[in-house]
Amino acid sequence: MSQVRIGIDTGGTFTDVVAVDEQTGELVTTKTPSTPADPADGFMAGIHKVLGTLGLGGDAVTAVSHGTTVATNKLLEGKVENLGFVTTEGYRHLLEIARQSVPDGYGNSYFWVKPPRIVPADRVRTVGGRLAVDGSEIRPFSVGDAVAAARFFREHDISTIGVCFIHAYANPEHELLMREVLIDEHPEATVSISSEVLREYREYERSVTTLVDAAVKPNIRRYVENIQRRLQGFTAAGSAERAVPFYVMKSNGGVLSADEVVHQPISTVLSGPAAGALGAAVVAEAAGFPSVLTCDGGGTSTDVTVVVDGHPALTTEGSVGAYPSKIPMIDVVTVGAGGGSIAWVSPEGTLKVGPQSAGADPGPLCYRNGGTEPTITDAHLLLGRIPPHLLGGEVPLDLAAATDGITALAGRLGFDSQQCAAGILEISAWNQANALRQVTVKRGLDVRDFRLVTFGGSGSLLACRLVDILGLGGVLVPPNPGNLSAYGLLTVDVRNDYVRTAVSRHSMLDLHAVEKILGDLRAEADRALAREGFAESARRFVRTADLRYFGQAYEVRVDVPDGAMTAELAEVVADAFHAEHRSLYGYDFRGDGRQEVEWVNLRVTGVGPIRKPGVREVSPGQGAEQARTGTRRVRFDEWAETPIYDRARLGAGDALDGPAVLEEFGATVPVHPGFRAEVDRFGNLLLTRHREVVS
């Protein structure tokens, strides 16, 4: 009997599903509408649909990996409420102090900007007791203050609480005592403590990260437990008793079992975008492009990131919505330019697109599901760039409804409907281009050095225009691009990150202390992998450290090679820091005795390898003409009768010139005039500028 692993990515409009046969490596993909009221409904519908396509039952499933937006959506929508905060006596206003932010430079009214506080001041309680920077106790923990704080939260029905004491990263004892008091006095409360969420210095970021973890924990727990209950009807292939292993994608590019993720909910805040970036990296590297940009277009937004040498860029300086989250995450920039993004007129009378979205419910006007405002999808439909249906006919689209809505909007702007639709798409393309500049130009990379990988249901619709705007070398559109994020879920390993702050100048580094901390972190990672069921021989560990020049405010992360921490190994790490600093900023102080290196954080990542589906080659093509299904009037620069192709019927070596439209089950690729589309041996569509095009 066949055995399959399933990847499921829940997006704002559709839930994407990929199943891989464990024996043959064959992939089967499908989509089903998302169900925002209860995302688990769409999740289970996707599993049943793909199993029905394969003619298999639940006993054929060996594992399920899932990318979820539950935590992300809660934070993006600002739905953080009923939250309390406990901190050290004398630090009641830690959240007000925050950080200075200068988002738009020095020449405007935003010179001094404070992020919105996540907890109102009247819901903050302080507790006596104080630890020194090395974790030693200066003043004992005040049990009386702790009990009073717990009773305050209980009496005011504040049931979600974050705890962050000064220097708890060095010694968690006081936070552990506080949690015990909360459990005794307020047992129904959900509690997160900073020494378990982020054992790293910088009190503001650690506090907010802990509070974000607490805020999303009830939602993640309910969601995961709901799915686990629904999966009880399945048993793991080859076992009559064991439940199907259920993994959830983390922001750091790994997965974690559902049983573990409820204790680390903040690790899922960029779950979906991370899966897409990893899937794109795998496909692009196999095609010969180890360094690419990725553009994941969904129904609500577009997520972009940069992949260098096969690895998506990671950061610990990210944020979700208004809240900084100092956890390892793939460096994703999100822009409100998805298929459901709404076009509107500003008070100044100019056309705007997004970030508001019609989402999956009610959706664009053309869905005829209650939508009242024109969207990017409506504009594509009016210009003929997408077919009059989605998902191979499962979702019919109403051209008349889209035209009426865009015509009404155009009338307010003094345009005709076609000009308005073209303007909506042009603004959307520039929004995406600006996001791609943020992950390249703002990080010292030349955007023109990269190819773009586009995926998601709407990710490839503006691919050719992005080449023109940014001067890109070309675009790679993988097979089944609408399901690449779900595919990415099947390509990633279990990963757990552990960090400890240990600030020391390089010349004064205590090698034995560093060795002990790295050993302790490795032991934590090892225990987590053991709980996940990985044999000792399969567990892998990656050591890194955050270094800076003494006096700098932010660090650079470099690898720490395996082996005992000797003076020679420490020098290797310092040399790597100098080199990386020069690569990032154009200079370093190697050999300059006036500027000393400082060690800040030590990190260990535990990796549990999961078998990955290979990238399979496709059969040679028989010429693009055999894939042609007809023509349709499409407007690019002007209206023209444009050939339409069934992408699934194209094979390796097939090529065609624009204007053309390539259609498949989960996505559409408009090929603009002046562009050429070729199919490589893996079935990827390579779009390049065929002749000079005037932007």
Cα distances (angstroms) measured from residue 603 to each of 250, 385, 579: 17, 48, 20
Q: Which residue has the tokens 């405007």?
A: 108
Q: Across the chain, what does the average pLDDT equal?
A: 88
**Cβ(230)–Cβ(309) below 8 Å:** no
In degrees and rounded to multiples of 5, residue 649 shows phi and psi of -95, 0
d(CA 531, CA 496): 12
Q: What is the pTM of this model?
A: 0.82
Q: List every span in the chain annotated with CATH 3.30.420.40.
A: 4-74+222-251
CATH 3.30.360 fits 75-220, yes or no: no
In CATH terms, the fold of domain 4-74+222-251 is: Nucleotidyltransferase; domain 5 (3.30.420)
Taking each helix axis as running N to C, give the angle between helix 463-470 and helix 417-438, from 0 to 180 degrees, rounded to the nearest 10. Answer: 60
- 268 torsion bin: left (phi>0), alpha (psi -120 to 50), beta (else): alpha
pLDDT of residue 71: 76
Nearest Cα neighbor of 677 from 454, 484, 456 is: 454
Give 391's pLDDT tier (boundaries 50, 70, 90): confident
CA distance 674 to 471: 14
Contact 539, 526 (CB under 8 A): yes
Residues 496 and 502: their CA atoms lie apart, in Å, by 20
Q: What values do phi and psi take at 558, rounded to 5? A: -135, 160
Tell me how far CA of residue 464 lies from CA of 58, 119, 376, 451, 659, in angstroms.
42, 45, 16, 12, 11
State the pLDDT confidence band at 675, using cuts at 50, 70 and 90. very high
Starting at the edge strand found earlier in the chain, the sheet holding 190-193 runs 124-127, 83-88, 160-164, 190-193
250-299 pLDDT, tens digit per residue, is 888 888 888 888 888 888 887 778 888 999 999 999 999 999 999 998 87
Q: Which of 301, 299, 294 lies closest to 280 in space, CA to CA?
A: 294
Which CATH number is correct for 494-608, 1.10.150, 3.40.630, 3.30.1490, 1.10.1060?
Answer: 3.30.1490
Whether the link from the prior residue into 670 is cis, omega within 30° of 0, is: no
Q: How far is the C-alpha of 352 from the C-alpha of 366, rounded, in Å?
A: 19
Provide the 8-state DSSP code for 130: E
User: Tell me: the pLDDT tens digits for 438-484?
Assistant: 888 887 888 999 999 999 888 899 999 999 999 999 999 999 898 88
Q: Where in the chain do CATH 3.30.1490 domains reside?
A: 494-608
Residue 151 has pLDDT above 50, yes or no: yes
Q: Once rounded to an integer, what is the mean pLDDT over residues 44-50? A: 91
**What's the rounded Cα separation, in Å, for the pair 688 and 690?**
6
Cβ neighbours of residue 436 closer than 8 Å, sequence gap 6 or more: 293, 295, 304, 447, 452, 466, 470
- pLDDT for residue 101: 59
Q: Which pLDDT does position 694 carry in this prediction? A: 44
pLDDT tens track for 160-205: 999 999 999 999 999 999 999 999 999 999 999 999 999 988 899 9
Residue 110 pLDDT level (bands cut at 50, 70, 90):
very low
Kindly report, residue by residue over 421-438, the tens digit of the pLDDT. Answer: 999 999 999 999 999 998
| Intervals of CATH 3.40.50 along the chain | 75-220
Report the distance separating Cα 434 and Cα 573, nearest Å.
35
Question: What is the average per-residue pLDDT within 575-593?
Answer: 89
Least confident window among 60-64, 390-394, 563-567: 390-394
Structure confidence at residue 108 as a pLDDT band (50, 70, 90) = very low
Output the pLDDT for position 167: 95
Q: What is the pLDDT of residues 482-498, one digit of tens each?
A: 888 889 899 888 888 99
Please enumerate in sequence order all residues whose Cβ is within 8 A of that of 354, keeping only pairs 6 or more positions apart, or say none. Answer: 301, 335, 336, 337, 338, 341, 342, 428, 431
Note whether 438 and 251 are within 8 A (CB).
Answer: no
Q: Mean per-residue pLDDT for 218-242?
A: 74
